[in-house]
Amino acid sequence: MNLFSLGCLSASLLAHQIFLMQILSYTQWYHFAFMIMSIALLGFGTSGTVLSLYQKRFLKKPEISFSILPGATAIAILVTHWLSQKVALDPYLLFWQWKRLPYIIVYYLLTFFPFLLGALAIGLTFLVGQRSIGKLYFVNLVGSGLGAMLGLWGVSELRPENLPLVSSGLVLLSLLPVKSPIPIKLTPLAVFILYFFRPTTLHVSEYKSLPKTLLLPDAKIVAEKPSVTGFLQAVQSSALRFAPGLSLSFRGNIPPQTGVFNNAEMAGSLLDTNEKHEFLSYSTEALPYALVPAPRVFVAGIGTGTEALRALQGGARSVRGVELSPALVEWISPKFALNPNVAISVGNARSTLMQDLSEYDIISIPILEGFASSAAGMSALAEDYLFTVESFRLMIQRLKERGLLAISSWLKMPERSSLKILTTLIEAAEAEGLPPDTNLRAIKSWGTMTAVLSKSPFSKAQLEAFEKFRDQMSFESVSISEELLSFRERADFYRNHPFRVIPATDNKPYFSHFFEWKSLPYLFKHFGVQGIAYFELGFVILLVTLAQVIPLSFALILFPVAAKLVRPSGKVLTYFGSLGLGFLFVEMGLIQNLVLFFGHPIYAVSVVITSLLIFSGLGSLASRALYQRLPEAQKLAAYTIATLLLAILYLNSPLITLVLIAPLAFFMGIPFPVGISRLENEVLPWALSINGFMSVISTGLATLVAVEWGISWVFIGAALLYGTAALSSNFAKPQQA
């Protein structure tokens, strides 16, 4: 396969990963991104095993494989995606109906197959061109980096069901310089044209908000817009009403609204900004406006603009709101264009407050996620730097002397997120020298809670206003126990509570992760297996994925050894295994670390993957010359990588991290091609297999380490892995068994 074809194929497979992540985020939930990464890398690992088994057949006439495999990949991308939407993938039902397990397995296989075919073509290219491995690995990595950029463009411009056309079309492009019979070229083109005119309909989980809303009378989708932060859709229905936590004292009318859905999950509703909506004042979220007259308000996550309307209705003299989704800002900005007191911009709330030294009377964090995803723990693995102790401290610092920090959330049963908000507020207040017992109050309705933290002790007038609002709205005060207010007793409270309610921090920014291993007996007793899955489905999916891929990966790594196709070498296994684990540990650690800087995972993913792959490709290109001049190049590169990782960890600065990505990635591109160049042909496929399968394990394992022990341990783990690779880099050249 020539360099152009290799680059196109590499770009296609990386872009297809991103496309499948977006498709599953839309049809299911965000946490399935980890499953897609594992499946993709499983395809690369399996390709090494297949090449080990049938190496002689592939090498006998490699030109045949180079003409067939890319075309088969282009067809498989479209056909398997079409078939996968015919498989009823409902992970919820799996915990109640084990007979649905085959559906999940079939879905895995369908998703896995295109990556296997594409990886076989790439692996065979490495095998045939081993002497030029540095150049080939360079093209492979740079192509993958460009594929990441293409993936970002695709999700921001195209409907989810059309995304596979881009990755399949790129594979077709790789066929142009390949000499092959006309039918082999025309068949994938015919499949492409057929899919173009008849794309598959995506099967959205019935547990998401959109399918249920479309069951309402005369419900219809009236607008759609792709975005890097999710696929937005607007739905109108005469029966659609949205008023979270509405007071039971409200006796007025709630007008029909246009519901806004982000990746098929409710994100809010669009209201007429020229009308007064009385029901907005009958919510727990209206509490801060009853306590502070004519406030200057900052809204973290203004969403569909409802909180801006509530603030104006509550007497706010100015409202500044920020929203991550450019598409959503594009929808709501015109509604407030004629109001000079409202300013809305695209951005991350915390990053904005770090740069904006203004002081506000009220900083409000409204309810930011749909009820279904919140209740089921769908955000358990998502980094959320808005709900950490450090974030709340920053917000307190941006308040005026008598300002309020107001945070609202859904009430979950058993109590989890609302309690965690209180514990985070308490610890942030104490860190800023504020007494929580006099500065913190909270109320709850039947479905929501709003907590308010004052920068100064509540005045008598504010306490009276608090009680008046609570009683008029028929809300309840939230009791803050002495255990939480007492520093000594709080540690025992965290330790004994069945859920993880200890505050999230920037090192462990997983606010929605509540699972505690020690509480498994309690949870099994009271809720059963199904209950645990319902509370923490995101985390359960991660554990289930790891439980599947770890034994499968090791079995396939050892299969060529058991079949006596290669004589085992502990150093080869350790070296390429450490590189496979280490590369993805670095990638995952950098993504998790830079989410705060960029404000959203998709931006962090795009920048990190693109930078790592392109600069690693440059390192690979230079690896042959470096190795010829310096035989210890791979060892020194591995030690340098470990040193740079520890520097990133120690300096703990996003800007320094961005600066160090380029040299870090450059050195990361050296150990693999140098190691490959030192192997015999018979052992090379086994090394590819080891590297691929360890990468499979790495994606989930790095996430588990970050969630349980913190992002810092991901960097420490990556440094140790590259150090281990350096120590095992002096492997001999194993011979064929």
User: Both 487 and 541 in a single domain?
Assistant: no
Q: Same domain, yes or no, for 499 and 540?
A: no
CA of 71: how far to CAs of 13, 163, 218, in Å? 13, 18, 45
Strand 360-365 relative to strand 296-300, pairing: parallel
Are 35 and 80 in the same domain? yes
Q: Would residue 718 count as lying in a domain?
A: yes
Q: Is 50 exceeded by the pLDDT of residue 436?
A: yes
The model's pLDDT over 249-268, given as tens digits with 9 standing for 90+, comes to 999 889 889 999 999 988 88
Mean pLDDT of 657-678: 91
Q: Answer whether residue 521 is part of any domain.
A: no
Q: What is the pLDDT of residue 88?
A: 66
Which is more confident, 545 or 451?
A: 451
Number of helices followed by number of strands (H, E) in the chain: 30, 12
Burial bucket for residue 132 (CB in 10 Å: 0-12, 13-18, 19+): middle
Mean pLDDT of 336-352: 90
In this structure, which amino acid lies at residue 165? L
Provide the pLDDT confidence category of residue 184 given band limits of 50, 70 and 90.
confident
Using left for φ > 0, alpha for ψ between -120 and 50, and beta otherwise, residue 260 falls in beta
User: Is 242 part of a structural domain of the chain?
Assistant: no
> Based on the domain organization, do 577 and 625 belong to the same domain?
yes
Let me know if 399 is exposed, middle or buried by CB neighbors in 10 A (0-12, 13-18, 19+).
Answer: buried
CATH label of the domain that carries residue 193 = 1.20.1250
pLDDT, mean of residues 143-160: 91
Q: What span, in angstroms and rounded, lies between the C-alpha atoms of 676 and 684?
A: 7
Strand, coil or helix: what is 84? helix
Report yes or no on 577 lying in a domain. Answer: yes
Total domain count, the chain: 2
Dihedral angle of Cα 419, 420, 421, 423, to the nearest 10 degrees: 90
The answer for residues whose C-beta is within 8 angstroms of residue 11's C-beta and 6 or more apart is 143, 144, 146, 147, 150, 170
Q: pLDDT-based confidence at 108, cuts 50/70/90?
A: confident
Res 680 pLDDT > 80 = no
Residues 474, 565 within the same domain: no
Whether residues 462 and 333 share a domain: the answer is yes
- Model pLDDT for residues 70-104, shown as the tens digit of each residue: 999 999 999 999 998 887 666 666 666 666 667 77
- Determine if residue 165 is left, alpha or beta; phi over 0 gives left, psi from -120 to 50 gives alpha, anything else beta: alpha
CA 142, CA 140: separation in Å to the nearest integer? 6
Mean pLDDT of the chain, nearest integer: 87
Mean pLDDT of 171-200: 89
Residue 610, token pair as written in the block? 């693109």
Q: What is the pLDDT of residue 31?
A: 63
Tell whether 191 is covered by a domain: yes
- Split at pLDDT 50, 70, 90, the class of 737 is very low
* Burial class of 637 by CB neighbour count within 10 A (0 to 12, 13 to 18, 19+): buried
How many Cβ atoms from other residues are within 10 Å of residue 590's Cβ? 29
379 pLDDT higher than 60: no
Mark out the alpha helices in 158-256 (DSSP H runs). Answer: 163-174, 182-197, 209-213
Euclidean distance between CA atoms 114 and 73, whole angstroms: 5
Question: Does the pLDDT of residue 736 top 50, yes or no?
Answer: no
- Domain membership flag for residue 217: no
| pTM of the full structure | 0.88
How would residue 640 be classed by pLDDT, with cut points 50, 70 and 90?
very high
CATH number of the domain encompassing residue 343: 3.40.50.150
User: Domain range holding 196?
Assistant: 3-203+534-727
pLDDT at 311: 95
Are residue 301 and residue 406 in the same domain, yes or no? Answer: yes
- Looking at residue 676, what is its pLDDT? 87
Is 520 within the bounds of a domain? no
C-alpha dihedral, 325 to 331 to 336 to 338, nearest 10°:
130
Do residue 199 and residue 308 come from a single domain? no
Last residue of a domain, one of 457, 482, 503: 503
Per residue, the 3-state secondary structure of 93-159, as one string, reads: HHCCCHHHHHHHHHHHHHHHHHHHHHHHHHHHHHHHCHHHHHHHHHHHHHHHHHHHHHHHHHHHHCC
- Eight-class DSSP state of 334: G
Amino acid identity of residue 261, one-letter, is F
How far apart CA 200 and CA 161 sit, in angstroms, is 7
Does residue 600 surpass a pLDDT of 80? Answer: no
Regarding whether 545 and 499 lie in a shared domain, the answer is: no
> What is the pLDDT averaged over residues 498-520?
87
Q: Determine the pLDDT at residue 405.
A: 97
187 and 88, same structural domain? Answer: yes
Same domain, 616 and 656: yes
> Does residue 545 fall inside a structural domain?
yes
Same domain flag for 482 and 539: no
Quote the Cα angle for 71-77-81, to 5°: 150
Whether the per-residue pLDDT at 673 is higher than 50: the answer is yes
Strand order in the sheet with 265-270: 220-225, 232-236, 258-262, 265-270
**pLDDT value of position 527:** 73
The stretch 602-627 carries a mean pLDDT of 87
Which of 449, 482, 503 lies at the terminal end of a domain, its last residue?
A: 503
pLDDT in tens, 556-599: 898 888 888 788 788 899 999 999 999 989 998 898 888 888 77
Among 503, 525, 556, give the residue marking a domain's end: 503
**Which residue carries 């870090």 as its tokens?**
664
